[in-house]
Amino acid sequence: MCPAVNYNVSKLFDRINLRILTFLAVLLMYNMGFVMNICQPPTKDFLHFTKNITDLDHVRARQFVYLDCCASGYDTITWYFKNNNTKYSWKEFPFLYQECEHNDECPTLFSENQTLLILKATVGYDNGSYICVAHNSSTGQTISHLEDVLVSDCVERPKPEPIPPSDVITNIGQNATFHCAADFGCKSSFTRDVSWYIGTVEVQDVSTRYIVTKENRDYNPVVQANLTVLNVQQSDFGVTFSCWVSSDSDIDTPKFSVKLRQEGNNHRYHALVVHDDSRNEDNDIADHITSTLEREGYKICNRIEGFGRGVFSHFGGYLEQSASVIILDMESDSDDSNTFRVFIESSLRNMADSLVGFTVIQRKGMENSMMDSVEYKGLKRLQWPGSESSDRQRQKFYKQLQLRLPKPVKLDERTPLLQNV
């Protein structure tokens, strides 16, 4: 019996030592400045978030990621998580790790529950949506923050893969945010940066209302820089903002120019159809949807095909001209699926107030859907009826789809859809 006892005691001490080393490593990262978004100690004032926290994060598999819920005026902060393993139902911390006291890689809460640390992110378990809920028991008030985490196995890239921004529709007095990123892959690089400029001057040097929030961690293949224009003024609509992607690659610095646009007369299409043109079945479905809707008088943009880089460079412009979006879903393990999901989520957030509908169409039997975890206030999911469906089933599908579109009117190339949006 004694050897077994000694063995178990040894394992216990090993586990305790690893926990201590993990804590010291986190503390060291804080002291060395690796963790950029340090939450301040909360105070007993009114319930509010104390800093601008991201709603989308990317992390390379088997590397660490920390999620911040910096708040003040709370009694408790509770974390929840969902992904395909939870059947997209919210699970309270410790999520899928049911035996955290025996799991040295279990997520850890610290800074009075304001920060969640995932020490070794995995594609299967940690990829999903996280929400923190801060509660003040004396007032009964709660506030919450949702953040999506994309965990992907990294590939070496000879040059960065840009995820360009798109124009943002807004109005005077509102805040507007551009999203720009690039996937640098796993190749070691001294220069991996995404920055915002007006001409050749960094935007933050032009106006204090131009705020850049940047994520650039050593182990993260994706570098993201968001530009927020606070309290939009009329003069901002005449400014051209440029996102620059800098790297060690022997290429010219990719630059992407965008503008703020006022809400108004800019819709030329009833719907934009986006699909993966590497699949013949998806091509057939997209053509069927386009031809059917056009016979009913709708003007459809079906020029954007594929989920590769070509889509990214043109998607924003077509989206801006479209009153609604129809996406044919794809498998989450398809090429470029994570990159496309990041891009489309940021684009749709920017266009949220101008879209009539955002519809995801899934084929029967699809597993590991790319769009399953996407949350958007105007989202509707429809299932493609298939070639063996009855006339009644197809009619029902198109009736539901048309409810997501503005009513058709006689259009020419110069006729906007504003009066019907």
Q: Are residues 232 and 328 in the same domain?
A: no
Band of the pLDDT at 10, cuts 50, 70, 90? very low
207 and 131 assigned to the same domain: no
Residues 257 and 275 in one domain: no
Out of 115, 135, 152, a domain closes at 152
Average pLDDT score over residue span 2-22:
41
User: Per-residue confidence at 259, pLDDT binned at 50, 70, 90?
Assistant: very high
Q: To the nearest whole number, what is the mean pLDDT of the chain?
A: 77
Long-range contacts of 210-219, Cβ-Cβ distance < 8 Å, separation of 24 or more: 211/52, 213/52, 213/54, 215/36, 215/54, 215/57, 215/58, 216/192, 217/34, 217/36, 218/34, 219/59, 219/60, 219/63, 219/64
| pLDDT number for residue 18 | 45
Looking at the structure, do residues 168 and 148 belong to the same domain, yes or no? no
Size of the chain in residues: 421
Inter-CA distances, 54 with 44, 107, 398, Å = 24, 19, 37
Cβ neighbours, 10 Å, residue 111: 21
Average pLDDT over residues 85-90: 83
Of 262, 288, 322, which residue constitutes the final position of a domain? 262
Q: In the predicted model, what is the mean pLDDT of residues 256-280?
A: 79
pLDDT above 90 as % of the chain: 19
The dihedral through the CA atoms of 186, 190, 195, 199 has a sign that is: negative
pLDDT of residue 35: 43
Question: pLDDT class for 338, splitting at 50, 70, 90?
Answer: low
- Stretch 250-255: mean pLDDT, rounded? 83
User: How far apart are the C-alpha atoms of 28 and 31, rounded to whole Å?
Assistant: 5
- Answer yes or no: is 125 within a domain: yes
Dmax over Cα atoms in the chain, in whole Å?
Answer: 88
Q: What share of the chain is helix, strand, coil (3-state, %, to 5)?
A: 25, 30, 45
- 218-232 average pLDDT score: 83
Residue by residue, DSSP assigns 217-232 as: -TT-SEEEEEEEESS-
Q: Band of the pLDDT at 343, cuts 50, 70, 90?
A: low
What pLDDT band is residue 61 in, cutting at 50, 70 and 90? Answer: confident
In this prediction, residue 266 carries a pLDDT of 60
Residue-level pLDDT at 268: 82
> Is the residue at 295 inside a domain?
yes
Q: How confident is the model at residue 415 (pLDDT cuts 50, 70, 90)?
A: very low
Burial class (CB in 10 A: 0-12, 13-18, 19+), 403: exposed
Confidence of residue 66 (pLDDT cuts 50, 70, 90): confident
Show the tokens assigned to 128: 């999903």
pLDDT at residue 100 in the model: 62
The arithmetic mean of pLDDT across residues 41-63, rounded, is 81
Cβ neighbourhood burial of 306 (10 Å; 0-12, 13-18, 19+): middle
Same domain, 166 and 231: yes
What's the rounded Cα separation, in Å, for the pair 189 and 208? Answer: 31
Q: How many whole angstroms separate alpha carbon 264 and alpha carbon 416?
A: 9
Residue 289: its pLDDT value, please?
93
The domain spanning residue 101 has which CATH number? 2.60.40.10
The 8-class DSSP code of residue 42 comes to: P
- Domain membership of residue 408 (yes or no) is yes
Sheet containing 300-301: order of strands: 300-301, 271-274, 324-328, 357-362, 379-383
Residues 247/401, Cβ–Cβ less than 8 Å: no
| Same domain as 256, residue 143 | no
Q: Is residue 3 part of a domain?
A: no
Query: Residues 341, 223: one domain?
Result: no
Question: Is the pLDDT score of 402 beyond 80?
Answer: yes
Q: What is the C-alpha to C-alpha distance for residues 98 and 248, in angstroms, rounded to an integer?
A: 43
Same domain, residue pair 98 and 177: no
**Mean pLDDT score, 286-295:** 91
What gap in Å lies between CA 407 and CA 215, rounded to an integer? 42
pLDDT band of residue 290 (cuts 50, 70, 90) is very high
Same domain? For 168 and 251 the reply is yes
> Is 132 inside a domain boundary?
yes
**Range with the poorest average pLDDT among 61-65, 130-134, 164-168, 227-231:** 61-65
Q: Is 78 contained in some domain?
A: yes
- Do residue 168 and residue 89 come from a single domain? no
Specify whether 25 is located in the same domain as 147.
Answer: yes
Residue 2 lies in a domain: no
pLDDT at 352: 60
Report the pLDDT averaged over residues 89-109: 73
- Tell me which residue range forms the domain holding 359: 271-420
* Domain shared by 117 and 181, yes or no: no
pLDDT exceeds 80 at position 78: yes
- End-of-domain residue from the set 125, 152, 179: 152
Residue 6, pLDDT score = 38
Number of domains, the chain = 3
